[in-house]
């Protein structure tokens, strides 16, 4: 059974996807095994665009993709995955206490699962995705942030780091040209916030990806 788009197709879109292809043929007792992928990046690293392009690639090969995103929000449009370059698709919302294995079987027998904003899934839900990979031989691709505005792991991202077969970074750069690794949170007045809840629902804070040095230097500067 073919689980992945062709090398040439993936290469056309994103050379980095060759990492997926090169790791593709994992065999266990002669059987090709599906994998759990974690593709993480800082804010603005095009994770949602890559999630949607990956979905397109699978569907072009005749495979069905269950697109999901975590959420508590039920407002209009909350179930849309949007990228800054204009791609958008509707996704099924996974609620905080929802069992993903049950939700998957209710949704239908899709060939692949793609999750955006996977850092907001709970550790238990990541374990449920791992079970789907192992028991259903279903490829699961999770796109999301690794760390929060204080450089600490999101619990879901930490569990992905522990359980994923394949972990790759989607890179983006800081204003200074270094690789951005910190998702800096700014208040209305443009000051970097270093304390507060990991997730603020409905907040007006802005986020910018920065390198660690610029983040630390900016905090020192604003503290005078």
**In the complex, least distance from residue 219 CB atom to Zn ion, rounded to whole angstroms:** 13
Alpha helix (H) residue ranges in 71-206: 100-107, 123-136, 155-163
Interface with Zn ion (CB under 5 A), residue total: 5
For position 178 contacting Zn ion by CB under 5 A, the verdict is yes
The per-residue DSSP string of 65-109 comes to EEEEEE-S--STTTTEEE-TTS-EEE-EEE-TT--HHHHHHHH--
Output 178 or 191, the one with its CB closest to Zn ion: 178
From 55-63, 164-172, 200-208, 214-222, give the range in contact with Zn ion by CB under 5 A: 214-222
The three-point CA angle 154-165-130 to 5° equals: 70
Among 85, 176, 199, 200, binds Zn ion (CB under 5 A): 176
Count CB atoms within 10 A of the CB of residue 96: 12
Among 24, 214, 216, 219, binds Zn ion (CB under 5 A): 214
Phi/psi class of residue 46: alpha, beta or left (left: φ > 0; alpha: ψ in -120 to 50)?
left
**In the complex, least distance from residue 206 CB atom to Zn ion, rounded to whole angstroms:** 17
Active-site hit among 27, 59, 60, 117: 117
From 100-108, 159-167, 168-176, 216-224, give the range in contact with Zn ion by CB under 5 A: 168-176
**In the complex, least distance from residue 180 CB atom to Zn ion, rounded to whole angstroms:** 7
Q: Which two structure tokens, joined as six digits, stand for 55?
A: 């979905």
Distance CA 166, CA 7 (A): 17
Output 87 or 214, the one with its CB closest to Zn ion: 214
Count CB atoms within 10 A of the CB of residue 37: 24
For position 219 contacting Zn ion by CB under 5 A, the verdict is no
Phi/psi class of residue 81: alpha, beta or left (left: φ > 0; alpha: ψ in -120 to 50)?
beta
Cα distances (Å, whole numbers) of residue 100 to 30, 94, 107: 29, 7, 10
- 127 annotated active-site: no
For position 217 contacting Zn ion by CB under 5 A, the verdict is no
**In the complex, least distance from residue 213 CB atom to Zn ion, rounded to whole angstroms:** 6
Among 100, 174, 184, 192, binds Zn ion (CB under 5 A): 174
**In the complex, least distance from residue 174 CB atom to Zn ion, rounded to whole angstroms:** 3
Q: Is the alpha carbon torsion for 49, 54, 57, 63 positive or negative?
A: negative
From 29-37, 95-103, 106-114, 177-185, give the range in contact with Zn ion by CB under 5 A: 177-185
The set of catalytic residues is 117
- Under the rule (CB under 5 A), what is the footprint of Zn ion? 174, 176, 178, 211, 214
């Amino acid at each position: 059974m073919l689980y992945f788009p062709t090398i040439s197709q993936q290469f056309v879109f994103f050379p980095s996807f060759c990492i997926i292809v090169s790791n593709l043929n994992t065999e266990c007792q002669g059987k090709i095994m599906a994998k759990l992928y974690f593709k993480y990046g800082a804010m603005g690293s095009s994770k949602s665009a890559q999630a949607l392009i990956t979905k397109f690639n699978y569907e072009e090969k005749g495979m069905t993709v269950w697109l999901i995103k975590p959420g508590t929000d039920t407002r209009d449009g909350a179930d849309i995955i949007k990228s800054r370059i204009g791609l958008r698709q509707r996704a099924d919302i996974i609620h905080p206490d929802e069992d993903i294995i049950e939700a998957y079987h209710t949704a239908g027998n899709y060939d692949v699962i793609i999750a955006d904003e996977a850092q907001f899934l709970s550790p238990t839900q990541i374990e449920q995705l791992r079970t789907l990979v192992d028991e259903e031989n279903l490829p699961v691709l999770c796109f999301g942030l690794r760390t929060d505005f204080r450089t600490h792991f999101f619990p879901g991202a930490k569990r992905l780091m522990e359980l994923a077969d394949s972990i790759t970074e989607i890179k983006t750069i800081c204003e200074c040209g270094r690789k951005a690794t910190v998702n800096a949170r700014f208040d209305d007045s443009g000051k970097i916030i270093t304390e507060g809840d990991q997730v603020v629902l409905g907040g007006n804070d802005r986020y910018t990806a920065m390198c660690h040095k610029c983040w630390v230097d900016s905090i020192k500067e604003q503290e005078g």
